[in-house]
Structure 1
Amino acid sequence: MYEWSYNPNFFYNSMNRMHSYVRFLHASPGTFNIDILMNNKDVSTNLSYKDFTEYFPIYHGRYNIKVFPAGNRTKVLIDTDINIPPGSIFTVSVIGKLEDISLYPILDPRLPIPMGKVCLRFIHLSPDTPLVDVRLSNGAVLFSNIGYKQITNYILLAPATYSFDIYLAGTNKRILYVPNASLRPSKFYSIYFVGLSKQEPPLQVLIPLDGNSYLGF
């Protein structure tokens, strides 16, 4: 296994330079369901905590994003702009506790993937959890010293069903056990680490397929 960094100009090679993809993730622990608008148009209504939208195609450019409590357009939780480069794939995450809720755009970098391997990375989105290490059940360290809002590079693994242990960094204090994560060959996955270590909702991971596994340009 080894880290794999990406060329930030790679996605500009797309033949359709206008075309990008975006999905949203509700990762704000303790926050009610939300509605999301892009340029004042609904893109998701009643999105629950830990849920993703589907990816949808958009043109590149600058977009205004507003987030509201579901069904209540009088209280704006987030009102900010994001830039979507051409030929890119983003997971735009709603993060933080309600009192400091914000948007966090996460690039799903477009990379060629070696056949028969799995690409895996770790994304720390738990606002009250300090640095963590991610290990396999045999003690092998996959990711170390990962802090809030940090995104690792992808590593390459053999396809298999894995169990992951998440520890406070540099210690043997395990804070989460993740069993039976099935990772298929020639795919990209992100481990989204969400929840709270000291309050509800509890720590948890989400391991969806990244859009760079299957989206076409």
Structure 2
Amino acid sequence: MSTKIRFLHSCSKLDKFDIYLKDCILCPDLSYLGYSHYYDVEHGKIVFKICPPKKHYSILDAYTYVAENSYQTAVVTGLNGDLSLFVVPDAYIPLTFNKAFIRFVNLAPDKTLDFIVYDGTSVTFRNVSYKQATDYHTLYADTYDIAARISGTNNIFLTLKNVQLLENRFYTIYIFGFARDANSPGYLIFTDGANQ
């Protein structure tokens, strides 16, 4: 398995940008809440340059380490001009027949969140802070309702209805938006790794 990385643009202050690796464009014209396919890269220490579209000056030089034989998602985010990139390892673990794997990443800058998956009882991931990813959790392949709740309260940040999880898939749900703006919360659901 080669080393692969994809990109997610979650900085609402930027319309679009290009991503360069070793002074060559790798991911062009990525729009807000847009995401790329996986790119093959060399493992080890890497510098990604985030540049305005069709410009050759960087607004962020992001230093990171990419593990050998891995899948990763690099998330570009930021608030009030504080641009950053963080890498979420996309786990590749042995598949379980009739099972799906799900986890969550909090991209809501102003709140810590709990995630609740209703599966007859409920599965809860608690106190997930901004830019934090949960571990994967195993569920039967089925359709689920999911809620993101502001931690320490009963206030629902976002509700996801009828989320279908297929067997032998790894899923990450990215939650974004602001609690102070009722129209801004939303989500993206990705399938991770080789089994897409």
TM-score by length of 2: 0.91
Corresponding residue for residue 132 of structure 1:
113
Query: In the superposition, relative to structure 1, how do residues 136 and 89 fare at CA in structure 2: closer, same or farther (>3 Å)?
Result: closer
Query: In the superposition, relative to structure 1, how do residues 199 and 91 fare at CA in structure 2: closer, same or farther (>3 Å)?
Result: same
Structure 1: which 5+ runs fail to align? Answer: 1-15
Query: In the superposition, relative to structure 1, how do residues 69 and 200 fare at CA in structure 2: closer, same or farther (>3 Å)?
Result: farther
The alignment status of 1:116 with 2:92, answered yes or no, reads: no
Matched-pair contact (CA < 8 Å) for 2:11–2:32: yes
Corresponding residue for residue 190 of structure 1:
172
CA displacement, residues 23-43 of structure 1 (integer Å, 9 cap, x when unaligned): 111111232111111111111
The alignment status of 1:52 with 2:35, answered yes or no, reads: yes
CA displacement, residues 153-205 of structure 1 (integer Å, 9 cap, x when unaligned): 11111111222111111321111111221110111000111223335971111
Q: Which letter maps to 1:140? A: S
Q: Aligned partners of 1:70, 1:203: CA distance in 2, in Å?
A: 27
The alignment status of 1:169 with 2:144, answered yes or no, reads: no
The alpha carbon displacement at 1:81 in A equals: 1.9
Matched-pair contact (CA < 8 Å) for 2:28–2:53: yes
2:26 to 22, 30, 43: 43
Corresponding residue for residue 32 of structure 1:
15
Query: In the superposition, relative to structure 1, how do residues 201 and 105 fare at CA in structure 2: closer, same or farther (>3 Å)?
Result: farther
Matched-pair contact (CA < 8 Å) for 1:29–1:201: no
Matched-pair contact (CA < 8 Å) for 1:39–1:64: yes
RMSD: 1.9
The alpha carbon displacement at 1:139 in A equals: 6.6
TM-score by length of 1: 0.83
Aligned length: 195
- Percent of aligned pairs sharing the same letter: 29
Corresponding residue for residue 99 of structure 1:
81
Q: Aligned partners of 1:20, 1:98: CA distance in 2, in Å?
A: 32
Matched-pair contact (CA < 8 Å) for 2:105–2:132: yes
Corresponding residue for residue 9 of structure 1:
none
Q: Which letter maps to 1:110? A: Y
Structure 2: which 5+ runs fail to align? Answer: none
Runs of 4+ in 1 over 6 A off after TM superposition: none
Query: In the superposition, relative to structure 1, how do residues 78 and 153 fare at CA in structure 2: closer, same or farther (>3 Å)?
Result: same
Q: Aligned partners of 2:80, 2:23: CA distance in 1, in Å?
A: 22
Q: Aligned partners of 2:181, 2:16: CA distance in 1, in Å?
A: 19
Q: Which letter maps to 1:93? A: V
The alpha carbon displacement at 1:72 in A equals: 3.1
Stretch of structure 1 that moved more, 76-85 or 185-194: 76-85
Q: Which letter maps to 1:32? A: D
Q: Which letter maps to 2:48? A: I
Query: In the superposition, relative to structure 1, how do residues 53 and 212 fare at CA in structure 2: closer, same or farther (>3 Å)?
Result: same
Higher strand proportion (structure 1 or 2):
2
Q: Aligned partners of 2:123, 2:92: CA distance in 1, in Å?
A: 25
Corresponding residue for residue 53 of structure 2:
70
Higher helix proportion (structure 1 or 2):
1
